[in-house]
Amino acid sequence: MKGAFYTGKYRNVFSEYGYDEEEIRNRVEDTWNKLFYGDENTRIYWPVGDDMGYILDTGNNDVRTEGMSYGMMMCVQMDKKEEFDRIWKWTYTYMLHRSGKYKGYFAWSLNSDGTRRAEGPAPDGEEYFAMALLFASKRWGDGPEPFDYSRQARNILREVVHKGEDGVGDPMWEPNLKLIKFIPESPYTDPSYHLPHFYELFSIMGNPEDSDFWKEAAEASRRFLKTACHPVTGLAPEYSEFDGRPRKAPWGYGHHHFYSDSYRVAANIGLDYEWFGKDEWQRTEADRIQAFFAPMGANADYRMYAIDGTPLEEKALHPVGLLATNAMASLAANDTENRRKCVELLWNTPVRTGVRRYYDNCLYFFAMLALSGNYRIWL
């Protein structure tokens, strides 16, 4: 299949299943409004003063590069420049390291007053920041610093590839394998960080001298995902070795199993297939994931799972996020009854409210954008 990058055409999967186009548009806009300007039990965005704002991880009561970069991607897709600039200015002011081994990277966890909980970065934030900034440059044009979006994006992309070449710090990609790391210092990865559809665009929109690196990184990540996803269930672990084997972490519990981070793999595969359509394996992988979850139905008791599908005692913290990413896999999946069930379950599920809503609703909104044909490349 030729992806939207080549055709300029984005599928509206909701419409394909008979949902009314005006109702779809209203649903996307309503979801945006709830997440950004809804009541205190629903919203995840808070403006600060005249020109800043943040996305709050309501479950952990912190501001994360994950959420801030997600928020920026939501804004650029929805053509919401004011909110984009507010989030980016907060990020640039409080999260950006200006010296030391993390110079040019972003501290991954802060309090909502801008004080830092952690100094280290999480690479999924950097890759989303760079992509959102490049799209903003194309959609709205560059402005004065820090709103010179394309320059800011290329600065990030230079650091994630070349950090450490002067002996200070570590890059976010393993230089020989061209695979993203879990953190700059780690000799392992997180399968949900692999975004080959972004890397394809970084090769075109990023720093010209690194174009080949990003082309190779896109192919390397597509190859890697084949090793990380189980050949029957399609499930991936939260953390893995670079050869795809699940990796236990010295902290937390169950990171070698399918849990919260892992949900994003299905969404990423779906969007990569929609944008580029380069890997037919992604269709099979999406089918496997949907075949595992769709028969559980609307009242599923989602759990942590071993990647072979064995259910474990731990209940899913983010069930709405899981069903959303399963639906987003429909961009790659074959037209099966499982695919229809996954899309209908998302459509019939409201945004999550309460303390754990942040992660679920980020994944929910990305799925709403993607399945309505509104998660687009701005080139």
Active-site residue identified among 66, 85, 174, 200: 66
66 is catalytic: yes
The answer to whether 368 touches 4, Cβ cutoff 8 Å, is no
Active-site residue identified among 57, 124, 261, 360: 261
261 is catalytic: yes
- What CA dihedral angle connects 101, 102, 104 and 109, to 10 degrees? -170
SS (H, E, C) the chain: CCCHHHHCCCCCHHHHCCCCHHHHHHHHHHHHHHHHHCCCCCCCEEEECCCEEEECECCCCEEEHHHHHHHHHHHHHHCCHHHHHHHHHHHHHHHECCCCCCCCCECCEECCCCCECCCCCCHHHHHHHHHHHHHHHHHHCCCCCCCCHHHHHHHHHHHHHHCCCCCCCCCCEECCCCEECCCCCCCCECHHHCCHHHHHHHHHHCCHHHHHHHHHHHHHHHHHHHHHCCCCCCCCCCCECCCCCECCCCCCCCCCCECHHHHHHHHHHHHHHHHCCCCCHHHHHHHHHHHHHHHHCCCCCCEEECCCCCEEEEECCCHHHHHHHHHHHHHCCCCCHHHHHHHHHHHCCCCCCCCCHHHHHHHHHHHHHHHCCCCCCCC
The answer to whether 66 touches 125, Cβ cutoff 8 Å, is yes
Catalytic residue IDs: 66, 261
